[in-house]
Amino acid sequence: MSLLPVGEALRRVIASVPGPLDGERLPLHACRGRTLAEDVQAQRTQPPFPASAMDGYAVRAAEASAGARLALIGESAAGRRFEGGLDPGQAVRIFTGAPVPAGADAILIQENATRDGDVVVVREQPAPGRFVRRAGLDFTVGDVLLPAGRRLDGIALALAAAGGHATLPVRRRPRVGILATGDELVRPGDAMGPDQIVASNPYAVAALAEAAGAQAIDFGIAPDDRAGLRAGIDEALAARIDVLVTLGGASVGEHDLVREVLGEAGLDLGFWRIAMRPGKPLVQGRIGNTAFLGLPGNPVSSIVCAILFLVPLLRALQGDPDAGADPTEPAMLGADVPGNDARQDYPRVRLEHLDPAAFPRAVPLAAQDSSMLRLLADAEALLVRPPHAPPASAGDACRIIRLDRFT
């Protein structure tokens, strides 16, 4: 059985997105975590005038030599400029952020001056242009401040505000329906039989989806029978979701019905089974306009697949041009690791920061079973071991995926 390589699977997931979702215009405070639907241009110039960077005196640098006495003719404060210009021999009291009066070309900081009534005595001559921020130093009207596809964090929102925007054109949040499957599952807090476990995966997958800008909708737990599973799928599809995620039932057992029942519901299967561990039985496809991912049931498998495939899918739906970007970063092995087989492996690791100048050391946790959620919660990153990687030693270069990037 030949399994699809991880990189090819990701390309197919991204390629399955016909285009970004619709845009909508929202007030700035509602835009955090959204993705821009259009370029955002500056509607104003910042600073709009030459501005002082310090508290002191606006002067003509050439005449402000040490010992010079300049006549103080007024004050320029932030929000209340000095109306008028500077003639030779004059200075204007000025504060940080205030407009520099015409005729002045430098700020004499107050630490370098003494006051003698209405006279300023220079102690140290400023260079021309010193502590003057030119108009447009930060940006000029018409500049593209933020490109379409940019994910909006607080810094981007502050920049949009500074540029004169009270609202922004953003992509609609993808609606992700999450359906757990399995007769053994109950919701946390519900009564349970001796053979039952708690459905934990929906919490992780919903959180990953929401952190990626989506709205997660929990459709509960479908049983391991065709009619029950079909009813759960139909309910989710009827709720105008953009992405359907099922959890479990993706593998080869008689009770693993997801592909079959989804086929009856109109699934256009993209791929099933990829060369990775954990996460081999991942199913991908489309049902009409709805993207579909069938995540394996094992908790670690579900979460690793959500990080590697669901998050990029959601970013692509929001028009992020870097949706499929490599999530790995360099690290150093903190222990010897054995050679790998044909499946790209993602061992859970903790990170040691022994030498602040070096990459962190990735130390695999003692056990790696894909059912062990507690170990995943202890881990800080996934180590990436490519297919057929030879044995490697402590100190060798490696690649990791930090888990905190996704929450």
> Which residues of this chain interact with ligand MOO, rule CB under 6 A?
277-280, 296, 298, 301, 370
CB of 366 to ligand LQZAQKY5, least distance (A): 20
Which does residue 125 bind out of ligand MOO, ligand LQZAQKY5, none, counting CB within 5 to 8 angstroms by kind? Answer: none
Contact present, 180 and 199 (Cβ < 8 Å) = yes
Nearer to ligand MOO, 290 or 301 (CB): 301
Nearer to ligand LQZAQKY5, 35 or 251 (CB): 251
CB of 302 to ligand MOO, least distance (A): 8
Encoding tokens for residue 197?
């476990």
Residue with tokens 């039952």: 196
CB of 389 to ligand LQZAQKY5, least distance (A): 19
CB of 328 to ligand LQZAQKY5, least distance (A): 22
Closest CA to 221 of 239, 203, 242: 203
Whole-angstrom distance, CA of residue 227 vs CA of residue 222: 9
Which does residue 1 bind out of ligand LQZAQKY5, ligand MOO, none, counting CB within 5 to 8 angstroms by kind? Answer: none
DSSP letters of 186-223? E-TTS---TT-EE--HHHHHHHHHHHTT-EEEEEEEE-
Which does residue 180 bind out of ligand LQZAQKY5, ligand MOO, none, counting CB within 5 to 8 angstroms by kind? Answer: ligand LQZAQKY5
Which does residue 251 bind out of ligand LQZAQKY5, ligand MOO, none, counting CB within 5 to 8 angstroms by kind? Answer: ligand LQZAQKY5
Contact present, 271 and 344 (Cβ < 8 Å) = no
Q: Which residues pair with 337 in a beta bridge?
A: 392
Hey, is 18 helix, strand or coil? coil
CB of 248 to ligand MOO, least distance (A): 11
What is the pairing mode between strands 361-364 and 344-345? unpaired
Which does residue 165 bind out of ligand LQZAQKY5, ligand MOO, none, counting CB within 5 to 8 angstroms by kind? Answer: none
Residues near ligand LQZAQKY5, by CB under 6 A: 180, 182, 184-185, 197, 199-202, 247-252, 256, 278, 280-281, 296-299, 301, 370
Which does residue 56 bind out of ligand MOO, ligand LQZAQKY5, none, counting CB within 5 to 8 angstroms by kind? Answer: none
Which does residue 99 bind out of ligand MOO, ligand LQZAQKY5, none, counting CB within 5 to 8 angstroms by kind? Answer: none
CB of 233 to ligand LQZAQKY5, least distance (A): 15
Geometric angle at alpha carbon 194, from 189 and 199, rounded to 5°: 40
Closest CA to 14 of 323, 389, 374, 400: 323
Element (H, E) at 24: strand 23-27
Hey, is 264 helix, strand or coil? helix
Nearer to ligand MOO, 279 or 334 (CB): 279
CB of 323 to ligand LQZAQKY5, least distance (A): 25
Q: What are phi and psi of 323, to 5 degrees?
A: -55, -35
Q: Which residues contact 314 (CB under 8 A, 6 or more apart)?
A: 174, 176, 209, 212, 213, 214, 243
